[in-house]
Structure 1
Amino acid sequence: MENINFFDRLTDSSLTLNKYETRLAEYIKENYKKISFLDMMDISKITSVDLEHITSYINKVGFSDYESFRNFIREFAMLELKSTDRFEFSLVNVNPKINNIKNLIINKEISNLNKMMENFDESVFYSIIEEIYKAPEIIIIGTRSSSVIAIYAEQMFNKLGKKATKIISDGTDSFNKFSLFDHDSIVISIAFARYPKETIRVTNFFKKNNFKIVSITDNIMSPLTPLSDITFTIPCESISITDFYATPFSVINIIIVLLSQLDKEGSISYLNKFETTAKDYGFYF
């Protein structure tokens, strides 16, 4: 469904809505960004519409349950949410006590991980592993908050003996080594809603120079998708002003462990070299 057509359908006359369903539809159209943070009970209280009418309405617009309806709206609403929106909407249900916040945060991460488990595309992931395995170098792009993922990925790849370079900004100093990159290198670009423009600019630069690009993102409609040879989508839904990165870090860990198993002897050799260096230089206590 196109987004505009979807919003038109919410109040379409062919749905034969009763007065309660009409009230609900108008509320959703005007507050669709907020819906991502509200469950059925919240909607019922806010609109004074009984749960049975909410369920009936959700079925009329083509969804089997409220959760699938909310997830559909969330897909495009998250693209538009500013940090202030997330902060404001997340306060609707939250009792500001440590235990409540703890449960909210951890349950959201668990929810993202469960969704990733359910929808994990093994064939696409296998293609990514193949490209990384044969590549002479890995270039990892991640800016703004995703820079922490790029930093971690670079460290893990290098530890395993895979030459890796991170790019965490679109400043000119990031391209000082561009002429040294092997054109058979693989570029891994990481971005989630609201998709930093500098990540897109850097990725586009590599695309124009005919590098193979793998994107790790949260939606097939991500601006990374048309720039990528392979797109791997994972749920990365967040609440409030923070980012929820259990899923992308898990993806990096899965890649690293799989690569280590594909070349056990080489992995052990490089890990031994790493441990020797760590001991000689005194990396750890």
Structure 2
Amino acid sequence: MAAVQTRRKRKLGQFLNALRKRAGKTEVDYHALTRKTQSTLSRMENGYISPSWTELGALLGLYGATDAERREAEALWEDAKQDGTRLVYAAAYTPEARTYARQEADATEVRTIEMIVIPGLLQTPAYAAAIRLAGQRFMDSSVSVEQVAAALANRQRRLPGLRLHAVIDEAALHRVVGGRQVMREQLSHLLDTGKRDNVVIQVIPFEAGAHGTMSGGGATALRFDDSDPSAVYLEYAGGGKWVDNPADVQKYLLHFEEMVNEVALSPKDSASLIRKTATALKDT
């Protein structure tokens, strides 16, 4: 399989490239250390491949990296090697989830589609706790509900400075997570948050019928202000997977636009449906 350029590998490559140039090292020095070609160095620094752990250590030594720079490079290397192909328990604290949280913190816009659950950035603490309790089979029992809540709260603190566009299937509005009171509070929170200028919430009505991502879990696209391309993250019970192939990323971005413009209700009509669903919970 041909090497694929990814944002995480490119971040590591850019970091190593900066260290190399600062140290005044050339492709000749790289070859003398690793016996690898200039082409290999170029592919590594441009994010197509990653060095091995042993090679990373050797390069950091060659480049005269400080202790802080070593820690940063090692964290970038850990991020770059996550391929998301293995089902891992403790979804909130898997390497994939930590990588996602770091990438989300760098993003300027989050576009997400959820089929059966309210997106994490829009969840209330009680709703999130109920989700955590229900999925405990896939969670690390050593991680408390309080720790998970704190991690979620930390993510949500960025919401005022983030552009968020959430598309939520109507099924997520009707699923009574945590009891009627918890769900009423969650729907009320959606209405309040949806009033912010930087937040757009749209609902896919039942009447829309079948649509592209309904057979899977959540899909989230991150957009960055720098030259980095958008990245897509697919979440599932116990873990997640990055979609790094540019062609596949583009499919998800086009699908999101299709859902927003052709399938989902307008933000105004979505708010009306959310309000109606919350009222029904009060009346019964």
Bigger relative CO (Cα 8 Å, ≥ 6 apart): 2
TM-score relative to the length of structure 1:
0.31
TM-score relative to the length of structure 2:
0.31
> Higher strand share goes to which structure?
2
> Higher helix share goes to which structure?
1
